[in-house]
Amino acid sequence: MDEQRIQAWLNSVKQLLTCNFLRHLSSKLANVLGISQTSTSTNPSSQDYQQFLMEVLQATADSESNSEVIYPILQANLDKLDNNFIVILQNWAETTLSEVEPSAAEYVACVIGEFSNLIQQFPSGSKATNMEISIAGYETLLTVFTRDTHSETWAMIQNNLGAAYNDRISGDRAENLEKAIAAYEKVLQVRTRETLPIQWANTQNNLGNAYNDRIFGDKAENLEKAIAAFQRALQVRTREAFPIEWADTQNNLGNAYKDRISGDRAENLEKGIAAYEKALQVRTREALPIQWADIQNNLGNAYSERIFGDKAENLEKAIAAFQQALQVYTREALPIQWAQTQNNLGSTYCERISGDKAENLEKGIAAYEKALQVRTREALPIQWADTQNNLGNAYNGRISGDKAENLEKAIAAFQQALQVYTREALPIQWAMAHNNFGKAYNDRISGNKAENMEIAIAAFQQALQVRTPEANPIDWANTQNNLGIAYSDRISGDRAKNLEEAIAAYEKALQVRTPEANPINWAAAKNNLGNAYSERISGGRAENLETAIAAFQQALQVYTRESLPIQWADTQNNLATVYLERISGYRAENLEKAIAAFQQALQIYTRESLPIQWAMTQNNLGNAYSERVSGDRTENLEKAIAAYEKALEIRTREANHIDWAATQNNLGNAYLNGIPGDKAENLEKAIAAYQKALEVRTLEANPIDWATTQSNLGNAYLNRISGNKAENLEKAIAAYQNALEVRTLEANPIEHLQTTNNLGYLHFTQRDWQKAIGAYEKAIVAVELSRSWASTDKGRQEIMAKAIEVYQKQIQAYINTEQWDKAIETVERSKARNLVELLTNRDLDPKGDVPQEIIRQLHELRRNIPSLEGELQVATDQLSGNRDEQQRPSLEESRKRLQQELQDSRQQLDELLKQINDRYDPSFTLTQKVKTIPFSHIQSLIDERTAIIEWYLTRDEIITFIVTSHSQQPIIIPQSSPEKLKTLENWEQEYINTREPKNQWIDNLGPSLINLAQILDLDSILSEIDAIFDQKGIKCDRLILIPHRFLHLFPLHALPLSNSNEELLLDRFARGVSYAPSSQLLELTKQGVADFRYDLYLLAIAKLLNNKYLRLFSLYFHILIQQRPKQKHSLDFNNLFAIQNPTRLDEKPLLGSKLEVDKIRQYFDPNDSIILAEAEATEANLNQNQEQLRSTH
């Protein structure tokens, strides 16, 4: 502008300042804005604003936009740089520019434009307000300079306006960026590469920055547009032609690649680092110190996120870069940049691998707090929120100081951040802060734990409203993993359902967290998933544990001792715990794997560095040694005790009473289990440990743990040597009865069985038969209710395997009280239980025309009941032991729900079985439920000339019962000795082992059977029968034999009588000798039940005998057919399907099978019989016929 035109402009301005319309405008604005026309000591008047506006505009014109002139004027009038000034500027400009000549309007507009540039860069006052004044000025210019009249000037103003909106603080950030992008795109309508290549490249660079920061739209697409814009800018901005601008755009391109979503993340970061390093070729500290520091800051960010190379080294490079940037970025010279770099440095220290973790976190916190000296909510609200969020993360992970206080500081910081991070304005940051806020509440110590967990879950769910797998897959996966942790730890609600939610969340996270893309995060989610499956209540326990093992093993592919020692040890401990509980595989092998994994964990978990984890693992290792199968039992128990005592060095009652009590209980078990040394002293130590445990384990606070320790204490007092024996037994009884207050039949039949069995044994050893009978009766009921529960873990299988002793002790107690009728009823009950257990595992369906809906209901209940039993047992187990006390409510809710569902399902099954029994298949119920037969019913099965001999083999003796219709109770032959039982077992082995060669076996059969008759005391049995019938003057001419266990294998009917070398048992009874598997099955044949499953009962017996000698049962068919009613219409048992001496490659013929089948077929109509002989005996023919027939041989 030449001197003449400047002077003309100045004259116009002076003339404008004295115009009456301006005075009128000032008065009007004062009324609108609510400001006085006269100034006060605190508030400027409208005239003050007007005079300040004229002064600064005139100074801008006079000084030719010299900041050294303008900035002091602005500094002196900071009180007027506010929203009122913006309105006055806008209205003054609008009025002035519309009243003056076009040339004068252009002059005025130019001055306003220069002032807008200056105020935008003014370092004092409110940065946000300064930017608003600048934007108001630029927008005013566009009323004068249009694209049609002044295209290049219009484009320049649009470019400045775009830059202003890009940096704007006030208003919605997302909308500001949209306005910036729109302005830049307008610029590019005028600035083309062909006409204005340099300006075109500048605007492309600016447009790239805007797209890099854009919030609206797809983030990945925005970054691709940013990269494309920067690459277009670099077509003109070359190092040779424009080195400074080339370096600027390289820096910007590096930022875009650092944040890029599309493509390979690792490669993008490498491209970003390469771009920054190119920029540093020009941006040196000597030549361009501030720009050099900019890139050092950016390079630090890229190295902190770098995937290639060693993570620890990358973080060290990041720290070094930030520290270099801070040599130029000082608080005094460049406070904004200084604060930004302090924030970045803090984040890197928080992630640092090298050095002491606690010290690194302290450095991180210190850096964040420095950043917040400049990043205030008033001056830089978004950056303030960013650093508050980061500070919250640092306090959340802080090691030094009080953990509870640190978490409160973290929560406060996140809450501060959320005052700025709103879903509407900053949805991504809002979601991030909610995710972090949720993590802090998940870990929170202060306040109510259950409420904290609910707040955490709600926060994660809010975060997931924005973090979707489509928009933010990595963040979505992170929050899903956090949500899984929260549900795993949740106190409120149903524990089983919470774990299902947790598993679902982890599995969602693993859709994104892959070993290729996110190996460490993948391993973390796998470890978490393993924990959830190890505690899972729903589903099969064995399968859940296998899934857990697989997840932990996968995690260990990434978690190595060298790279991630803590995580490696955590996962080793988790894996060991699951092996300790594992159901599949060999128990001995599982325990060895558990011990090995615990020992691995202890290489990292030391008393000095991680005392809590060290003590936990020592306790777990003690459990593994206590149960160990391999090695010397004594040495294992010694190692267990040593491990428990180490655990108790840290696990004190004061520090952690729950863990202390658990370890005391475990220590008591180890002393009880019989380590070497003074037995009496060890039992005293066991009792002392249990009593300590019971100081914490109370009925009110820990009922299940209390009952477990009471049961253990009862065992210790039962075996106690010191003290008064009677008093010890009374204490044992009291402890068992205490345990049974919790261990009820309904709540836990397995533990009820265990404790009632112990109580029964106590009374049995004291010869208190009636009390023993009462306790064993309860135990037997538990046995019959617990069939499917035995599959839930190895320990329960062992308990159920010993259940036979309950029947044997009960039988003996009845014999000792001369309740022989009850004794034989219990024998029958034992046999019925064995058969039902075998047959229910075959999933039999009832015979007859049963509606499919009933069959469907039956199948569903069969599936549901064992599943519910298993889930209930897991919930009960998790309620006991070393658990967070606050987890108990959710576990208790699961237990109660499952218990009710189980009770309902059992009732439905009972009703369904009754319906089937009454309407369709009367015998089916006997294959599903244990039913006892009273002695009176057994007697009713025989006439006055028939006797029954029923054997029962215990662990110690052979018990023989004789049943006739002539006495109120069965007769019991004087019991044999354990030596005689051993002789019988040896005879059985010899009989089986010498069956080949056949001729020799047949030659030895006679002498062998004589020996068997002597072992069984056959003469005494027959003498007793004769005496009974002689008293009645009746001859016994029919005998029914009911063997037990392996006695089923032998031809008892062919036992020789001692008074004759020729006469056999069979010859003694004119009406014959017959067999029955049990009295209950014999009763069914007498009743003529139409659909009685003879074949399946015999198959069950074969199962009991390991499926070895099925053809030895052919005689049963003979007997059963003989016993059926003579009228064919009363028994639907008229068809025979038999396989006779099948032809088998490389196998010998089945000797005698032709004779056997020929004998049996005599009892069937030839038209109703199918005999598959020799070559016709194929699997296909068998499958084709077996479903429609009643008897197979």
Q: Pick the residue with more confidence: 837 or 1191? A: 837
Q: pLDDT digits over 1081-1133, tens only?
A: 777 666 654 344 444 444 444 444 443 333 333 444 444 444 444 433 333 45
Rg of the chain's alpha carbons, rounded to an integer?
46
Amino acid at residue number 977: S
Q: Pick the residue with more confidence: 47 or 1185? A: 47
Percent of the chain with pLDDT over 90: 60
Using alpha carbons, select from 139, 162, 137, 141 the residue that is nearest to residue 150.
141
CA distance 662 to 656: 10
The helix/strand/coil state of 1086 is helix
Beta strands 958-963 and 946-953: pairing type?
Answer: antiparallel
CA distance 377 to 388: 10
CA distance 59 to 78: 16
Does pLDDT of 207 surpass 70? Answer: yes
Does pLDDT of 123 surpass 60? Answer: yes
CA distance 981 to 975: 10
Q: How many residues does the chain have?
A: 1193
Average pLDDT over residues 659-664: 94
Residue 330, phi then psi, degrees to nearest 5: -110, 160
Q: Say what the pTM is.
A: 0.69
pLDDT of residue 1150: 60
Residue 948, phi then psi, degrees to nearest 5: -115, 135
CA distance 271 to 255: 10
Count of CB atoms situated within 10 Å of the CB of 73: 15
Q: pLDDT digits over 912-956, tens only?
A: 888 887 888 776 766 666 678 899 999 998 999 999 999 999 888
Burial level of 111, CB count in 10 A (0-12/13-18/19+)? buried
Q: For the chain, which residues make up each domain, given as ranges?
A: 1-18+52-118+131-144, 290-374, 563-575+586-650, 652-742, 935-1075
Cβ(870)–Cβ(541) under 8 Å?
yes
Q: pLDDT digits over 698-716, tens only?
A: 999 889 899 999 999 999 9
pLDDT of residue 574: 96
Q: pLDDT digits over 420-474, tens only?
A: 999 999 999 999 999 999 999 999 989 988 899 999 999 999 999 999 999 889 9
Amino acid at residue number 440: A
* Torsion sign (Cα): 288, 293, 294, 296: positive
> Six-digit token pair at 695?
């100081």
Beta strand ranges found along 1005-1161 (DSSP E)? 1038-1042, 1073-1075, 1136-1140
Maximum average pLDDT range among 200-204, 678-682, 806-810, 1068-1072: 200-204
pLDDT of residue 1188: 55
Q: Pick the residue with more confidence: 733 or 701? A: 733
pLDDT of residue 1192: 44
**Residue 58: C-alpha distances to residues 9, 53, 101, 1051 (Å):** 10, 9, 18, 129
pLDDT of residue 17: 46
Residue 966, phi then psi, degrees to nearest 5: -105, 5
> Six-digit token pair at 409?
């500081």
Does pLDDT of 607 surpass 90? Answer: yes
Residue 228, phi then psi, degrees to nearest 5: -60, -40
Place of tokens 């900053």: 426
pLDDT of residue 847: 77
Q: pLDDT digits over 735-771, tens only?
A: 999 999 999 888 888 889 999 999 999 999 999 999 9
CA distance 229 to 242: 17
**Residue 188: C-alpha distances to residues 181, 202, 223 (Å):** 11, 10, 19
Q: Pick the residue with more confidence: 16 or 1148? A: 1148
Burial level of 199, CB count in 10 A (0-12/13-18/19+)? buried
Query: What superfamily in CATH does domain 563-575+586-650 come from?
Result: Tetratricopeptide repeat domain (1.25.40.10)
Q: Pick the residue with more confidence: 1102 or 728? A: 728
Average pLDDT over residues 879-895: 68
pLDDT of residue 20: 47
Report the DSSP beta bridge partners of residue 142.
none
Confidence class for position 1061, pLDDT limits 50, 70, 90 = low
Q: CA 788: distance to chain centroid?
A: 24
Beta strands 971-972 and 958-963: pairing type?
Answer: antiparallel
Maximum average pLDDT range among 7-21, 68-82, 970-984: 68-82
Q: pLDDT digits over 522-552, tens only?
A: 999 999 999 999 999 898 889 999 999 999 9
pLDDT of residue 1193: 42
pLDDT of residue 840: 57
Residue 1074, phi then psi, degrees to nearest 5: -130, 170
Does pLDDT of 178 surpass 50? Answer: yes
CATH fold of 935-1075 reads Nucleotidyltransferase; domain 5 (3.30.420)
pLDDT of residue 1101: 45
pLDDT of residue 432: 97
